[in-house]
Structure 1
Amino acid sequence: MRIRIDRGRCQGAGQCALNAPELFDQSDDDGLVVVLDDRPPPALRHKARLAEQLCPNSVIRVLEAEDDG
């Protein structure tokens, strides 16, 4: 699994950091998403998927394949 973000579309709603703080944070400078771990361990993969679903701007993509390039 790999997490990708489109930071340019992020508006800083913070749902990712609120629901998956082990994987996401918000920048102190602009409040936009920061990925803390783009290859989450198996125990946190459900949180990555939840953050993807809850993002109001759809800036988070969770790629399931390990060799996503």
Structure 2
Amino acid sequence: MSLVIYDECINCDVCEPECPNGAISQGEDIYVIDPALCTECIGHHDTPQCVEVCPVECIEKDPKHPEDHETLYQKYLRLTQ
């Protein structure tokens, strides 16, 4: 699954620079994650870096975009070609 940022986001600006795929950007009210770019950091890190740095723990797996490890890895390969 890609990740999603929920309304508890406080716009602290720490997640965006941590994303190796550039999937995180400022939305209208809170930061948002582009599911087409999110690989949960597979291929780059062992854990999603945005989740690691989020001080309010508002980033979770997005149930609207279910993806298994292999699918996320293939997305990583496409993004890094």
- TM-score with structure 1 length normalisation? 0.62
8 Å Cα contact 1:26/1:33 also seen in 2: yes
CA RMSD of aligned residues (A): 3.0
1:2 pairs with 2:25: no
Of 31, 34, 43, the residue aligned with 2:32 is 34
Structure that is richer in strand per residue: 1
Instruction: Single out whichever of 32-41 and 54-63 deviates more from structure 2.
Output: 32-41
The answer to whether the 8 A contact 2:22-2:37 is kept is no
Runs of 5+ in structure 1 lacking a partner?
none
Alpha-carbon distance, 1:66 to partner: 2.5
Q: Which residue number corresponds to residue 67 of structure 2?
A: 66
Kindly tell me the number of residue pairs found equivalent between the two proteins: 62
Structure 1 residue 39: deviation in Å? 6.1
% of aligned pairs identical?
Answer: 21
Contiguous gaps of at least 5 residues in structure 2 = 69-81
Paired position in structure 1 for 2:16: 17
Structure of greater Rg: 2
Higher normalized helix content (fraction of residues): 1
